[in-house]
């Protein structure tokens, strides 16, 4: 699974995100193609800069003569009417809709009447469309962002003095992990809208094999290098041997057991490493269930939302645990004309576990009429022979 991880150690803005994606390998031509569809190619340029001790890519926009504010309706007409790639257009409109909805709620107006000031200028439009074009080029299956630092204090805007983080940022990043640091604005509404729209989760970096890293520069010079880092790689199906994971547990005695399979299905679909139910005897001899969920840390908040929403529990226990896992590979064998995937567990370079995929074996048993146990044994033997 291809995954992007935005490491927002010094915040995020639209130009930082775009610069990081270009630095990670997205060709400038891919961005220019979308900007050309908007008639904005000549306003966009890229250069390499150094922030602190870090070399990064800086995106610059020449907005001379362009209005610094547009209404939500103006931006939608501009993007929707451009000959953009349909997928880039859809991605961009989703970002602006999320941004406009947040501003509409804050100012108490209808979405169509929202006038976007700081985020309605040419630079914000280029950032949004450029990032959406870059994401379309990379086509990740999962996007995760780290906890995001925010400044503390106040900043002047066209709406007047507003607190940090900006109201639009707090509205957009309700699902994110935020923490306070410093007295400058570290996360902008454009950056927040992009992360809120496209990130599947916020938290720790998932287990991944890194293929590329990119650094996008901000405008200011700060004590911490003013860059955003993006890591591009392949997410591992499980963490490597000897990793730390989080165990979520809760005891339940007032819920119908037949509902639990659906709960486990949702948990696994949300990224749980594993989930299971154990029958237990609770106080006063009541029969109950212990629900246990393993998380790699990056999905813990999402998994907790599911546990609290789908079960009757009033609280859970969370704790770090150590685990050892085998290196995993997959092979295929043919049994009676049917392909069956087989998982191999490897320790110290030797295969110690051979496990046919249940669904493949069951399908072969149904089609051939052979006992499932015979299909399993034949698949194991064929896998051993192939080794």
Give 168-210 pLDDT, tens digit per residue. 899 999 888 899 988 889 999 999 999 999 998 888 898 889 9
Residue 369, Cβ neighbours under 10 Å: how many? 7
Question: Which of the two residues, 110 and 385, has the higher pLDDT score?
Answer: 385
CA dist 213 and 230 (Å) reads: 6
Confidence of residue 241 (pLDDT cuts 50, 70, 90): very low
Asked if omega into 165 is within 30° of 0 (cis), the reply is: yes
3-state secondary structure of 149: strand
List the CATH code of the domain at 243-323: 3.30.70.1380
For the chain, give every residue range classified as CATH 3.30.70.1380: 243-323
CB 278 within 8 A of CB 260: no
Q: Highest mean pLDDT range out of 101-105, 119-123, 219-223, 249-253?
A: 249-253
Return residue ranges of the chain for CATH 3.10.20.300: 327-386
Q: What is the pLDDT of residues 331-380, one digit of tens each?
A: 999 999 999 999 999 887 789 999 999 999 999 999 999 999 999 999 99
Cβ contacts of residue 55 below 8 Å, gap of 6+? 48, 49, 215
Q: What is the largest CA-CA distance in the chain?
A: 77
Assess contact for 352 and 327: CB atoms under 8 A.
no
The superfamily in CATH containing domain 327-386 is mk0293 like domain (3.10.20.300)
CB count within 10 Å of CB 80 equals 12
Phi-psi bin for 46: left (phi > 0), alpha (psi -120 to 50), beta? beta
For strands 148-150 and 178-180, give the pairing: parallel
Say whether 156 sits in a helix, a strand or coil.
strand
Contact 19, 194 (CB under 8 A): no
For a pLDDT cut of 90, what percent of the chain falls above it? 64
H-only helix segments in 270-371: 300-310, 358-368
How many CB atoms within 10 Å of residue 98?
18
Distance CA 239, CA 55 (A): 30
Q: Are 80 and 72 in contact (CB under 8 A)?
A: no
pLDDT (tens digit per residue) in 119-171: 557 888 999 999 999 999 999 989 999 999 998 888 777 667 888 888 989 99
């Amino acid at each position: 699974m291809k995954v992007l991880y935005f490491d927002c150690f010094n915040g995020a803005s639209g130009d930082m995100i775009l610069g990081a994606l270009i630095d990670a390998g997205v060709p400038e031509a891919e961005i220019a193609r979308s900007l050309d569809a908007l008639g904005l190619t000549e306003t966009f340029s890229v250069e390499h800069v150094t922030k602190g001790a870090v070399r990064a890519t800086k995106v610059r926009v020449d907005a001379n003569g362009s209005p610094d504010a547009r209404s939500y309706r103006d931006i939608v007409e501009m993007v929707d009417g451009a000959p953009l790639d349909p997928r880039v257009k859809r991605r961009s409109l989703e970002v602006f809709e999320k941004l406009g909805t947040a501003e509409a709620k804050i100012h108490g107006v209808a979405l169509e009447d929202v006038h976007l000031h700081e985020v309605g200028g040419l630079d914000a439009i280029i950032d949004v469309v450029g990032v959406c074009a870059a994401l379309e080029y990379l086509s990740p299956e999962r996007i995760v962002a780290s906890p995001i630092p925010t400044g503390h204090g106040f900043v002047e805007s066209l709406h007047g003095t507003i607190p940090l983080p900006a109201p639009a940022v707090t509205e957009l990043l309700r699902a994110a992990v935020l923490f306070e640091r410093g007295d400058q604005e570290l996360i902008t509404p454009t950056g927040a809208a992009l992360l809120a729209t496209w990130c599947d989760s916020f938290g720790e970096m998932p287990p991944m094999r890194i293929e590329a890293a990119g650094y996008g520069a901000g405008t200011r010079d700060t004590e911490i290098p003013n860059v955003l880092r993006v890591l591009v790689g392949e997410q591992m199906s499980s963490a490597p041997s000897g990793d730390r994971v989080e165990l979520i547990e809760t005891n339940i005695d007032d819920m119908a057991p037949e509902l639990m399979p659906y709960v486990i299905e949702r948990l696994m679909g949300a990224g749980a490493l594993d989930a299971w139910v154990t029958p237990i005897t609770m106080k006063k001899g009541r029969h109950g269930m212990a629900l246990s969920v393993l998380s790699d840390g990056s999905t813990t908040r999402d998994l907790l939302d599911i546990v609290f929403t789908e079960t009757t529990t009033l609280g859970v226990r969370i704790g770090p645990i150590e685990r050892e896992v085998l290196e995993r590979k997959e092979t295929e064998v043919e049994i009676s004309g049917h392909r069956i995937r087989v998982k191999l567990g490897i320790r110290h370079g030797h295969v110690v576990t051979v496990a046919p995929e249940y669904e493949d074996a069951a399908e072969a048993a149904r089609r051939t009429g052979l006992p499932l146990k015979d299909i399993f044994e034949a698949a194991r033997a064929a896998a051993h022979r192939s080794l």
